[in-house]
Amino acid sequence: MKKQVGIEALAIAVPRKYVDIAELAQARGVDPAKYTSGLGAKEMAVADPGEDSVALAASAAARLIQEQGVDTSRIGMLVVGTETGVDHAKPVASHVQGLLKLPRTMRSFDAQHACYGGTAGLMAASEWIASGAGAGRTALVICSDIARYGLNTAGEPTQGGGAVALLVSEQPDLLALDIGLNGASTQDVYDFWRPSGRREALVDGHYSIGCYLDALSGAYRGWRERALAHEVVRWGDTLPSEQLARILYHVPFCKMARKAHTQLRQCDLEASAATQNATPAEREELAKSTASYEAQVASSLTLNARIGNVYTASLYLALAGLMNAEAAALAGKRIGLLSYGSGCCSEFYSGVVGANAAQRIAKANVEGVLARRERISVAEYERIMNLASDAPEQLAPAPGEFRLKEIREHRRAYVAG
Ligand code: HMG
């Protein structure tokens, strides 16, 4: 039997505070419907300087290890996908190794390519295991980021922060990956970037949406070609994309998943013999299908709507949200996943939901993690945004979590709760 490889379990960590997105809109003199309906947001996570990408990554990984009973001695690879790391040389992964006392014998590194870095890490880990190079060991892949555009910017309502830790192994209880079918698309574009030394990202917002959709098309077509060749999907009464039970997208804001789904359907409709005689307008109507969006996408967005963009972790928050909503019903079914990182690189891949997915996600208690958060006012959010990144407030971390305590002589010190 072919070796199964994929995601065995996951855990999430989020900043302790959030703002209500309608309240933020009111404070900015914007119709709240623009943020809630136009962007699809409900709440936005607010990370304070103590909750940096190291603290969030370590908190998510500690929770994964504790809740899922992970045997840390079997971890042979640790990858952190992040674009908001804390040092140009020393990786977030090295901090996580130290804070969690993970094996000295493992390989560790950070993967950076904007929001795609987490998927790059997941693929490096999965293919390492599938190739046999892992010799039966497991991998820990952590996606950790803080999305920050700044006060009074167009990107402000699409900020957020958090981390998702993934255990990757030959026992893919959550999602067994279809190794070898992935499609990718890469292009040199300036859609979103953050020059060294800047805290806030720069973005050409509307252009970035076009880059995402263009890269999605290339990645999806690559996957579809291989999936058709392996008879994982086929041209028939339904479109190839309709044969995936659910499709998860990179979610910089929830409405983007809807635009992405329309684009994906366009790729199928343009290539389908059944719609060759349709006019472009008729094809566009079919692509926009609300029924298809509701059936294949909507249920994955609940966490993203309450947290905001988490760059590398956004796609994996959608996976956590989908599993939390529907794991039992999806057992044995194939889903598609689209990762996008500005700059840009996109990858479409697929996998089959495991029979034990419901038990695994129940242990992750994602609702419980969000329920412990505190809603803050817009004034308090603005105060936190204006704090210096190297002078964290001395707050006690919650049990099992980590915070940045201080930076002395350029060395960061963390405290565990
Ligand atoms: P904007 O220009 O302020 O907003 O910025 P808009 O005018 O485009 O309006 C947004 C939506 O709200 C539109 O819907 C409006 O119609 C609607 P659409 O037409 O697009 O469907 N709207 C309303 N709806 C109801 N009631 C109203 C109302 N008014 C307007 N009264 C933008 C929006 C997303 C560009 C901005 O927030 C931004 O720049 N965000 C950051 C960039 C971003 O998220 N890009 C996404 C693609 S790139 C990516 O995903 C990579 C990334 O994650 C980074 C990485 O890879 O590391 C960002």
DSSP output for 32-80: HHIIIIIS--SEEEE--TTS-HHHHHHHHHHHHHHHHT--GGGEEEEEE
Ligand 1 centre and the CA of 210: distance in Å?
11
Residues 6+ apart with CB under 8 A from 409: none
HSE toward the beta carbon, residue 395, CA cutoff 13 A: 17
- 203 Cβ below 6 A of ligand 1: yes
Name which residue sits closest to atom 40 of ligand 1, judged by CA.
Answer: 155
DSSP type of residue 88: S
Q: Which atom of ligand 1 is nearest to the CA of 206?
A: 35
- pLDDT, residue 151, reads 98
Contact 115, 121 (CB under 8 A): no
CB atoms within 10 A of CB 3: 11
- 154 Cβ below 6 A of ligand 1: yes
- pLDDT, residue 88, reads 96
Averaged over 90-97, what is the pLDDT?
A: 98
pLDDT band at residue 326 using 50, 70 and 90 as cut-offs: very high
Contact 77, 96 (CB under 8 A): no
The structure's pTM equals 0.98
Ligand 1 centre and the CA of 155: distance in Å?
8
Q: Between β-strands 6-13 and 175-177, what pairing exists: parallel, antiparallel or unpaired? A: antiparallel
- 155 Cβ below 6 A of ligand 1: yes
pLDDT band at residue 276 using 50, 70 and 90 as cut-offs: confident
DSSP codes of every residue in 172-221:
-SSEEE-TT--EEEE----SEE--TT-SSPEE-HHHHHHHHHHHHHHHHH
- 160 Cβ below 6 A of ligand 1: no
Compute the distance between CA of residue 249 and CA of residue 254 in angstroms, rounded to an integer: 9
Q: Say yes or no to pLDDT of 390 above 60.
A: yes
The interface predicted TM-score (ipTM) is 0.99
Q: Which atom of ligand 1 is nearest to the CA of 204?
A: 39
- pLDDT, residue 275, reads 86
Averaged over 24-39, what is the pLDDT?
A: 98
Q: What is the CATH number of domain 6-416?
A: 3.40.47.10
- 121 Cβ below 6 A of ligand 1: no
Give pLDDT tens digits for 102-119.
999 999 999 999 999 999
- 84 Cβ below 6 A of ligand 1: no
Give pLDDT tens digits for 328-346.
999 999 999 999 999 999 9
Q: Say yes or no to pLDDT of 1 above 80.
A: no
Compute the distance between CA of residue 159 and CA of residue 378 in angstroms, rounded to an integer: 14
Q: Say yes or no to pLDDT of 18 above 90.
A: yes
- pLDDT, residue 201, reads 97
- 312 Cβ below 6 A of ligand 1: no
Q: Say yes or no to pLDDT of 196 above 90.
A: yes
HSE toward the beta carbon, residue 174, CA cutoff 13 A: 24
- pLDDT, residue 190, reads 98
Domain ranges (residues) in the chain: 6-416
DSSP codes of every residue in 327-343:
HHHHTT-EEEEEEEETT
HSE toward the beta carbon, residue 241, CA cutoff 13 A: 31
Q: What percent of the residues of the chain are helix, what percent strand, and what percent coil, each to the nearest 5? A: 40, 25, 35
Q: Which atom of ligand 1 is nearest to the CA of 35?
A: 12
- In a mutational test of the pocket of ligand 1, which residue from 21, 30, 31, 34 has the highest number of ligand atoms less than 8 Å from its CB? 34
- pLDDT, residue 384, reads 98
- 328 Cβ below 6 A of ligand 1: no
Compute the distance between CA of residue 208 and CA of residue 248 in angstroms, rounded to an integer: 19
Ligand 1 centre and the CA of 205: distance in Å?
7
Averaged over 174-189, what is the pLDDT?
A: 98
Q: Which atom of ligand 1 is nearest to the CA of 209?
A: 47
- pLDDT, residue 2, reads 73
Q: Which atom of ligand 1 is nearest to the CA of 149?
A: 41
Ligand 1 centre and the CA of 279: distance in Å?
28
- In a mutational test of the pocket of ligand 1, which residue from 192, 204, 207, 345 has the highest number of ligand atoms less than 8 Å from its CB? 192
- pLDDT, residue 3, reads 83
- pLDDT, residue 10, reads 98
Q: Say yes or no to pLDDT of 72 above 60.
A: yes
Ligand 1 centre and the CA of 298: distance in Å?
18
- pLDDT, residue 266, reads 97
Residues labelled as active-site residues = 83, 115, 250
- pLDDT, residue 115, reads 98
Averaged over 142-147, what is the pLDDT?
A: 98
Per the document, the length of the chain is: 417
Ligand 1 centre and the CA of 197: distance in Å?
26
Per-chain mean pLDDT for the chain? 97
Averaged over 356-365, what is the pLDDT?
A: 98
- 351 Cβ below 6 A of ligand 1: no
Q: Which atom of ligand 1 is nearest to the CA of 157?
A: 37
